[in-house]
Structure 1
């Protein structure tokens, strides 16, 4: 297989590129040159948002069986690249997002759930609308029968440049009492970036098209299993998970998802982001490795970097300050002594708006 990877040097793009190389595929990586492309690829440099960059892509030699695109900005960038490539590639796989579905979601919903409006010709507007516009741009150039829409949920694993799992690993490595937001047995959904990569390559090789929710099945992991795995591989000797009720966490002014990555309290946002059907992708071969493997491999990668993960400049930093963590611990102790606290409410829309990958 001949693959053109648009991007290919960070997180999702890198995982796809490395998986394709491991299969012996011929891989061309088109990127801006800010990071080195994986060894074994043919690199073409250019900024896809400029005329000069598109000219460099147009001048690249060869045709491809498939294109994989992870773009999350202005949809017109997908439009321009897809139009340029539609006579030179077979399938266009666009790594989209579960955020394209309208809010609030419905527990157990699948690919038939209504999506937000999008515009293939637009500049950047907001994450969900941009991703939907990217979907429309890809399909507009390649046609529905040649466009694969990989609607990824929360993405974790090595090379993560958002900081969610790296934050939890760094926190338990620091040791001491660790605020663990309950319920402990609450199911969480995510996709290991390498499982996403393998499924995407299998799908383009098989000629699949249309939308697929790429997320582990409900029940694959829990918040407890995730944090236990973090303590198991990275925890300091005195690290201790202190499980705390959701209302106590939110009453302490802590923002779910942003300050406590991955976690959401029970409610409509939890149903939207941690209870989505991936049955279609599973039928098409999706296999998800155990949560312990994702955590352990991410820790090994993080240690190889000296414990400091890279961070995308267009995404806010995540994590809870020690001061807020202490405040929540104090609130929990007072609650056990009979002092009540009000519960923060709201749809927490920022958890969707800042993106999943």
Structure 2
């Protein structure tokens, strides 16, 4: 298989490129040159936001392209049009954020989505991803695979969710642990996403698939305790009611990554129906493996995770944590 990876040097793109190489595929990475591509991959340079930035893709043929773009949908449109006739299948890594809020309980890919346009410039995240989907569909139709990922964790993470929790546990001491402690979490290990996506390419799957673990694959308690276990830290989880956390002005998802209090947002992000992907072969590794491998990767790069410049820095400030812990 000849795979063209748009991106391929960080997090999701890198995991997919490495999985392709592990399968013995011919992998070409199209990137801006800011980071080294995986060893063994071919390299093409370009910037999709610049005039003439796709010139390096004007020649060449591939069996599939995987696109992780989360900027203006018009960039997906232009790339898909350029590659039409030279790439058999277009895989767009989208997001479950494309569903209208709140997503009705029990629905999966048939739930109503937000409006979007392939001609859009910079818009909000949900409309951006929907516009990217439409751009791929407009050109490739049934040959477009839409991977609607949920919360993504694992090695190479440059968003700051699991790395923040690991780093916080490594500091030790009392840790503000957001309840309910047995609340189930849905996420996808980036390597499981990569495996499923390339399996889907081989099987010529098309259309939308929600890609995240089954509900309750892990819990908040198991995730945080595993972070303590793998770091070997002397951290003490101080479980705190959601109401107290919210009253303190702490923001779910950003100040305390991956955590949401009970309610419609929690139901939408951690209680999703993923039966379609499971029937299509999705397998999710244990949370212990995801956490341990992410910690090993963090240690291998000096303990500080990379940070995407277009995303906010996540995590609770120590002084705020101490304030809430002290008021118990």
TM exceeding 0.5: yes
Whole-Å separation in 1 of the counterparts to 2:65 and 2:238? 46
* Alignment correspondent of 1:162: 159
Instruction: Decide whether the 8 Å contact of 1:120 with 1:134 is kept in 2.
Output: yes
- Structure-to-structure mapping, 1:100-139, within 5 angstroms: 100-139=98-137
Which deviations, in whole Å up to 9, do the C-alpha atoms of 1:222-267 show, x marking residues without a partner?
1111001000011423x11111111111111111111000000000
> Which residue of the other structure, out of 184, 206, 215, is the alignment partner of 2:203?
206
> Which residue of the other structure, out of 295, 298, 304, is the alignment partner of 2:300?
304
Runs of 4+ in 1 over 6 A off after TM superposition: none
Whole-Å separation in 1 of the counterparts to 2:17 and 2:130? 24
Which deviations, in whole Å up to 9, do the C-alpha atoms of 1:179-227 show, x marking residues without a partner?
1101111001110000000000000110000000000001211111100
TM-score computed with the length of structure 2 as normaliser: 0.98
Does residue 323 in structure 1 map to residue 319 in structure 2?
yes
SS in 1 for 2:3: strand
* RMSD, aligned α-carbons: 0.9
- Structure-to-structure mapping, 1:3-82, within 5 angstroms: 3-59=3-59, 62-82=60-80
Whole-Å separation in 2 of the counterparts to 1:68 and 1:77? 14
Count, aligned residues: 328
Moved more, 286-295 or 47-56: 47-56
Does residue 257 in structure 1 map to residue 253 in structure 2?
yes
Cα distance 1:66–1:139, how it changes in 2: closer, same or farther (>3 A)? same
Moved more, 120-129 or 50-59: 50-59
SS in 1 for 2:237: strand
Unaligned runs of at least 5 residues, structure 1: 334-357
* Alignment correspondent of 2:192: 195
SS in 2 for 1:150: strand
* Alignment correspondent of 1:151: 148
Whole-Å separation in 2 of the counterparts to 1:330 and 1:55? 58
Which deviations, in whole Å up to 9, do the C-alpha atoms of 1:111-161 show, x marking residues without a partner?
000000001011011110000000000011111x10000000010000000
Residue 29 (structure 1) shift: 0.7
Whole-Å separation in 1 of the counterparts to 2:324 and 2:111? 37
* Alignment correspondent of 1:270: 266
